[in-house]
Amino acid sequence: MRTLEAVEEPSEEAERWAAALAGSGAAFAWLFDRHRNRVYRHALRMLGDVHDAEDVTAGAFLELWRRREAVTLVEGSVLPWLLVTTSNLSRNVARSLRRYRSVLRSLPRSETSRGAGEVAEERLDMASGERRVREALRTLSAPDAALIAMTAFEGYSPREAASALGISEGAARTRLHRARARVASVLASSVAEVLTTGSEEGAR
């Protein structure tokens, strides 16, 4: 079930969006204030880095305005559209980070001290549970990650999520079933790997 914040006054949000489309900066600011934290949480869930999440959050609202004529409201709210866009932007950022890390790993390293890249990755991955969830989400396509975010984290129904993605409810349910199975499989594999590594280290 969605929180009160998400379900209250849907007509007011639709009215604010209409005002924003008509050029009201105050109305767009209201929408930003209303949804910024939830968009940021989804970006952070996908990326695990506060600075990247902030950049993606800003990018999602920029896209909301840039593509305003193509935005579809779900139950009178722009939040589902923002979550889908956040998933897309986060996937792009994640690909850039993987390329950056690949370059870091190729650099010569001192035998006695860790490089800045190693320290940065360590900080990024300190919360192992959150890291495993991020890794699981990254194995999904952007639409499937958005489906998981909307239904599992934000409380939208498959019908509402389908509307945000522009697909049928049946297709959304099928993709959601496969996405959940994929996430569960990746999480189970990650836990098994941790347990195996821990057992090997304990035997040394």
- pLDDT, one tens digit per residue, over 113-158 is 444 444 444 444 444 456 677 778 888 898 999 998 898 888 899 9
When pLDDT is cut at 50, 70 and 90, the band that residue 198 belongs to is very low
| CA distances to 84, 179, 197 from 166, in Å | 11, 17, 43
Query: Which pLDDT tens digit goes with each residue over 11-70?
Result: 899 999 999 999 888 899 999 999 999 999 999 988 888 888 888 898 899 899 989 999
Domains and CATH numbers, the chain: 4-203 (1.20.140.160)
Query: What are 77's strand-pairing partners?
Result: 74
Check the CA dihedral 149-154-158-162 and report its sign.
negative
Contact 124, 101 (CB under 8 A): no
DSSP assignment, residue 126? Answer: S
User: Out of 11-15, 97-101, 141-145, 168-172, which region has the weakest mean confidence (pLDDT)?
Assistant: 97-101
pLDDT at residue 74 in the model: 92
Cβ count near 41 (within 10 Å): 16
When pLDDT is cut at 50, 70 and 90, the band that residue 190 belongs to is low
Helix (H, G, I), strand (E, B) or coil at 186: helix
pLDDT at residue 175 in the model: 94
Report CA 150 to chain centroid distance, whole Å. Answer: 10
Axis crossing angle, helix 25-47 with helix 50-66, rounded to the nearest 10:
140
Question: Distance between CA atoms of 198 and 192, rounded to whole angstroms?
Answer: 10
pLDDT at residue 113 in the model: 45
Which pTM was predicted?
0.64
pLDDT at residue 96 in the model: 63
Listed in sequence order, the DSSP H helices in 67-113 are 79-106
Contact 141, 157 (CB under 8 A): no
DSSP assignment, residue 74? Answer: B
pLDDT at residue 129 in the model: 57
Cβ count near 134 (within 10 Å): 20
When pLDDT is cut at 50, 70 and 90, the band that residue 98 belongs to is low
pLDDT at residue 102 in the model: 59
Query: Average pLDDT, whole number, for the chain?
Result: 77
